[in-house]
Structure 1
Amino acid sequence: MTRAGSHVRRTLADIRRGGGIRAALETSQPYDAADVMTSEVAAWSPGRDHPDRELGWARDTVTARARDLARNNGFAAGAVQREVDSVVGARFRPTSRPDWRALGIDRETAQAVGAQMDAAWRTWADDPLMRCDASRALDWGGLVALGYRTYFLEGDALAVLHWDEGATGFRTRLRVVDPDLLDNPQGMTDRIDMRRGVEIDEHGAALAYHFRRDHPSAMWGGQSWAFDRIERETEWGRPQIVHFFDKHRDGQSRGVSRLAPVSDALKMEDKYGRVELQAAVLSAILGVYVRSQLAPDEVSDLLSDGKFLALNDARRELIGANGLTFGGVRMPVLPPGDSIDTVKAERPGGSFEAFEAAVLRRIAAGLGTSYEQLAVDWSKTNYSSARAALVEIWRGWTARRVSFAQRWCAPIRLAVMEDAIDQGLVELPAGAPAFWEAPGAWLRAKWIGPGRGFVDPTKEAQAAAMRVSLGLSTMEDEAAELTGADYEDNLAQLSREIAEMPEGVLHPAQERFAELIGGEHASDRDAGPASTA
């Protein structure tokens, strides 16, 4: 073996042992996703960064673009508003269900405490003076919608719970904070215990939040570089800051806009649509044009009434007093080399509608909705496909509703219930655990938002009745899912309506349950006196 040959073999062995060099030289990989030789993916080389570094400066750009899309792009604005309306709506409210087994009390006592909690919550949330809002602009429905909208567009839903000691009644005040205000003090770079305004411990748990007193772009200035440090909670556990975001990786401290994966597609679709619309408008308003070697003002002067006849004496003698006519229509006579042409209206392009639909389907998939919902186009949808799409979309919206309720709304409700107990609006039974000993058991609740709605009301009402009759669901669940109603409120109202019915007249709710399940075949069953509720 020659010295050169030995050197070559050692070099090849070193290359094979080197992970990155080996991957670059080998022609194939066990996983196609790791192939770095093919032209399709050779230039695709993303890095692996810490989750907070991945956001970094890019978060501000993504957020600014998402806001711009929500302001100026109809599809983006509609997608945001539709999800806010569907997930939290205008009256996102809890129905208390204290865990009586965990608390060691009976069911009736737990229901009585739950009723007090619900009454106290309504007093705080539906205050017509809007004292639940620190800015006195919104009631609870507006606050929760603002919080969810901020989360959708900017990735973070932030709220500060203030305590107003001198207030009459509830002392708890809520402020939904602009995520732009959450930042490192004096603009310092991130460090091991500070990530974009979130102060964390060794486990990554948030300890405190640092807020600017004013927006960094405020025209009046003065407070944008003044910071307040607010601890996440008091020493006994009362929340002071509520922060909701989608945590995709361990170590992530801030969220990113839900529009981030589809922002480029939305912007390019918007440009394409605008260009097509402009072309269509031009085609519609520009019927004819003059092709000439003269300047525009000279052509306009020649085409003015009677002036083009003075072009030269010879043309006047030729066409006479009435000018050149064809089929009774007077034809303009232009200088030699000039002509009048018409615009052929060929826009929008023939493939515009199909192409836009394809782009919107891609965007809808990224947002977790359907093309029909995003484009508000139901022209090619039948009952089966609409129902299937609604089921898929509703599954995602339900998951987000539960997550938002547990991680954003529940801490706020905890603070309000502590306030209510302190005022004596809620009385806990003797011998039961104290509020702070078992907050999860006392505050167990079901959050009710907008109903799913109906594609075919008759079929879906019959299906709901069948689910209840088979024990697969409850009247409470069906009322909440289909219409967003509170079942206990429904029962109270039904009792009142039945009591007010004239003698001998049955309320519709007193008819037999089987009639709703069986529909038109119910009349074939043996008849008898209608049962009463």
Structure 2
Amino acid sequence: MQSKILDMHGKPMASSYAGAGSGLGDQLAEWNPSLKMADAGLLPTLQQGNARAEDLVKNHGYANGAVQLHVDNIVGSLFRLSYKPNWRTLGISERDARDLATDVESAFREHAEDPVGCYLDAERKRTFTMMVRETVATHVILGESMASAEWIERPGSLFKTSIKMISPKRVSNPNATTDSQFLRGGIEQDRNSAAIAYHVLNPRYGFSESLNGYGYGEWRRVPRETRWGRQQFIHTFEPREDGQSRGANKFLAVMEQLFMIDKLQVTKLQNAVVSAMYAAVIESDLDSETAHAMIAGATTGDEQMQQGLANHLAFSAEYHKGASVKMNGVKIPHLFPGEQLNLKTPGNADNGFAALESSILGYTAAGMGVSKEQLTRDYSKVNYSSARASMLESWRYFMGERKVIAAGFASSVFSLWLEEAINKKIIKLPRKAKYGFYERKSAWCNSEWIGQGRLAIDGLKEVKEAVLRIESGLSTYEKELAIQGEDYQEIFSQQVRETEERKAAGLPPPSWAMAMLLNEAETPEEPVKKGEAA
């Protein structure tokens, strides 16, 4: 029984907010959710929610497409390092910082993007970009991504730093221990809810229950970092509340709708197939009593009835087989006496299904942070302005995910590699630097990441827009080329090389270079001032 607070006149007091009251007609009276901390609401059903999300991605086209949409827009085909040491803090010149960045970017890409050796991956299956793509995909499906830093010596590799990708499904409390203040969701924590170590289950293969933390296997305790501060475990997710230990997958808010739309599609398809199977039926004039007697006798074993039914059906079939009448090549049915032809036309195959499906997909797209057109790959009902607006909204979301998830993981991996490269003297820091690597680690490891460029609906309009922003001083070549997924330094260097090669081959300069030369030639010379030598 719900208690009510009454005023001095015995009437229920109005709530400060309508949403906290009982609502019109007491519609909200039975809606009494309890306030819980993030872990209390997530951890008890974490494995079930992740299992359902994973099943959706395996068996549902839209769910699988949503994951791929995130991966392609956030990461793309190459995740480029743009190394930017904080040269002001480190006390080095900008020129020294640029020279260092050139060396670091070249050395990192050579090691990280090696498609043959794959030495950065402990399993030797992935390049660095592939690892980042897996990180984003896992974050969408399971709400977080995990990896451990390993030290592996391999012939042919200059570096021992390797990254072991770890499925979040493997991190759990040892032996299904109940969550406590200092151990939640397989993560040891201090009194400030900061992670200290992670417990990773190594299952005995062949026992599927082991991934749920109740079966066979052994747990390995992995510290978050070493005593000198080198990161050992990389846990990437975006917390929504203080004290949150694990991440919530992207499908939890829309899982019910996605699951039901799949069932609805299958049911609708079956109905359409059944409706289309029968074009016509022949109805007999046999009275119900006689038909019932013949069928009942046939099913109960009455030999006379069985023989009568068989004779009737055989005679009817023989009659239809021989009754072939045609006029001008068109067959005319000649029916058995007492029969009539009843044509069956399929009913409305849609019957409002398209509108319902569109509504559910719009709901799903909103919950996933993408536009409906991107989720369905259907742009037939939008114009240029609407399509561009929806894609820019999604782009803003993708950029946030790139910064927090993809770049967060990539920066952790890069800092591990850079530490080893500096200690091995493969990368040499400028001599004039005021601080060493461990004194200002974040300043030495500061970097940005360039992923997939933004899709251009009308390339000409967007190029003109970019040119105007640069010429008006509102943007730079670095920013505009990063939007396209390119590194401006690589573009500039390539332009210089191509211009020199065209000149050596006797070809005219590119059109943009020719325009610059013409502008310089048409610029009037500054007049000589009085008293100066001409």
- Other structure's SS at 2:235 match: strand
Q: Which amino acid aligns with 2:448?
A: K
Match among 176, 180, 193 for residue 187 of structure 1: 176
Give the structure 2 partner of residue 156 of structure 1: 144
Q: Does 1:46 align with 2:33?
A: yes
Q: Which residue does the alignment assign to 1:147?
A: 135
Equivalence for 1:129: 117
Structure 1 residues 292-337: Cα deviation after superposition (integer angstroms, max 9, x where no partner): 7576999997898x74166xxxxx8xx997578899744354585x
Q: For residue 14 of structure 2, what is the amino acid of its counterpart?
A: S
Mark the CA change 1:131 to 1:165 in structure 2 (over 3 Å): closer, same or farther: closer
Change (3 A) 1:35 1:111: same
Match of 2:526? none
Residue 6 of structure 1 corresponds to none
Conserved? CA contact 1:181–1:213, under 8 Å: yes
Counterpart of 2:468 in structure 1 is 466
Cα distance change on mapping 1:324 and 1:460 into 2, 3 Å: closer
Stretch of structure 1 that moved more, 160-169 or 496-505: 160-169
Matched, 1:116 2:103: yes
Return the match for 1:29 from 15, 24, 32: 15
- Paired with 2:387 and 2:81, the residues of 1 have a C-alpha distance of 30
Distance 2:322 2:382 in 1: 64
SS in structure 2 at match of 1:512: helix
Inter-partner Cα distance in structure 2 for 1:454 and 1:321: 67
Identify the residue that residue 412 of structure 1 maps to in structure 2: 413
Structure 1 residues 146-169: Cα deviation after superposition (integer angstroms, max 9, x where no partner)? 111001000110011101146541
Within a 5 Å distance, the mapping from 1:158-177 to structure 2 comes to 158-165=146-153, 168-177=157-166
Within 2, Cα distance between the matches of 1:382 and 1:322?
A: 58
Change (3 A) 1:308 1:422: same
Quick one: percent identity of the two aligned structures?
31
Specify which of 245, 257, 271 is matched with residue 253 of structure 1.
245
| Contact 1:98 1:110 (C-alpha < 8 Å) held by counterparts | yes
Amino acid across the alignment from 2:171: L
1-side partners of 2:361 and 2:123: how far apart? 38
Q: Deviations over 1:11-40 (max 9, x none)?
A: xxx97499xxx9x98363221111136432
Of 185, 194, 206, 1:196 maps to 185
Contact 2:136–2:406, Cα closer than 8 Å, also in 1: no
Alignment partner for residue 223 of structure 2, among 227, 231, 252? 231
Distance 1:480 1:70 in 2: 31
Matched-pair contact (CA < 8 Å) for 2:209–2:216? no
Determine if the alignment matches structure 1 residue 263 to structure 2 residue 263: no
Q: In 2 relative to 1, CA 182–300 (structure 1 residues): closer, same or farther, beyond 3 Å?
A: farther
Q: Structure 2 vs 1, CA of residues 308 and 16 (structure 1 numbering), >3 Å: closer, same or farther?
A: closer
| Alignment partners' CA distance in 2, 1:186 and 1:431 | 54
Q: Using the alignment, how far apart are the partners of 2:322 and 2:147 within structure 1? A: 83
Aligned partner of 1:481 in structure 2 is 483
1:234 aligns to what SS in structure 2? coil
Amino acid in the other structure paired with 1:470: S
Out of 287, 298, 308, which is 2:316 matched to?
308
Indicate how the Cα distance of structure 1 residues 321 and 248 shifts in structure 2: closer, same or farther if over 3 A, else same. closer
Corresponding residue of 1:67? 54
State the 1:346 CA deviation: 1.8
Cα distance, 1:274 vs structure 2: 1.8
Q: Deviations over 1:232-281 (max 9, x none)?
A: 01111111110011201101100111111111111112222222222222
What secondary structure sits across from 1:170 in the alignment? coil
Q: Is the 8 A contact 2:143 2:237 kept in 1?
A: yes
Aligned partners of 1:163 and 1:173 also within 8 Å: yes
How far is 1:511 from its partner?
Answer: 3.9
Distance 1:278 1:85 in 2: 34
- Judging changes above 3 Å, is the alpha-carbon distance between structure 1 residues 219 and 78 closer, same or farther for their aligned structure 2 residues? closer
Displacement of 1:348: 2.2
SS at match of 1:261: coil
Query: TM-score of the superposition, structure 2-length normalised?
Result: 0.84
CA 1:149–1:249: 2 relative to 1, 3 Å: same
CA contact (8 A) 1:324 1:333 kept: no
Maintained 8 Å contact 1:394/1:452: yes
> C-alpha deviations, 1:373-415, integer Å up to 9, x for none?
1111111111111111111111111111111244322111110
Query: What is the DSSP-based 3-state SS (H/G/I as helix, E as strand, rest coil) of the residue aligned with 1:499?
Result: helix
Q: Which whole-Å CA distance do the structure 1 matches of 2:180 and 2:29 have between them?
A: 34
Aligned residue for 2:496? Answer: 495
Among 269, 288, 294, the alignment partner of 1:277 is: 269
Amino acid at match of 2:480: E
Amino acid across the alignment from 1:180: K
The secondary structure found in structure 2 opposite 1:242 is: strand
Q: Distance in 2 between matches of 1:237 and 1:339?
A: 88
What does residue 363 of structure 1 align with? 364
CA pair 504-119 structure 1, distance change in 2 beyond 3 A:
closer
Report what 2:529 is aligned to: none
8 Å contact from structure 1 (residues 454, 460) kept in 2: yes
> Is the CA contact (8 Å cut-off) linking 2:238 and 2:404 kept in structure 1?
no
CA distance change for structure 1 residues 15 and 258 in 2, over 3 Å: closer, same or farther?
closer
Q: Is the 8 A contact 2:499 2:510 kept in 1?
A: yes
Structure 1 residues 460-469 or 51-60, which shifts more?
51-60
Q: How big is the shift at 1:196?
A: 0.9
The match for 2:401 is: 400
1:97 aligns with 2:71: no
Normalised by the length of structure 1, the TM-score is 0.84
Aligned residues: 493
Where do 5+ consecutive residues of structure 1 fail to align?
1-13, 311-315, 516-524
Q: Which consecutive unaligned segments of at least 5 residues does structure 2 have?
A: 285-290, 300-305, 524-534
Find the aligned partners of 2:310 and 2:219 in 1 and give their Cα distance.
Answer: 68
Quick check: 1:183–1:197 contact (8 Å CA) kept in 2? Answer: yes
For 1:210, the aligned partner's letter is H
User: Secondary structure at the residue paired with 2:158?
Assistant: coil
Return the letter of the residue paired with 2:466.
Answer: A
Structure-1 separation of matches of 2:173 and 2:393:
40
Cα deviation for residue 79 of structure 1 reads 1.1
One-letter amino acid matched to 2:370: T
Q: SS where residue 380 of structure 1 aligns? A: coil
1:208: which partner in 2?
197
Deviation at 1:285, TM superposition (A): 2.9
Show CA shifts across 1:86-110 (max 9, x none). 0012211211111111111100111
Map Cα deviations across residues 487-512 of structure 1 (whole Å, 9 max, x no partner). 11111211111111133512134143
CA–CA distance in structure 1, aligned partners of residues 325 and 406 of structure 2: 80
Structure 1 position 476, deviation (Å):
1.3
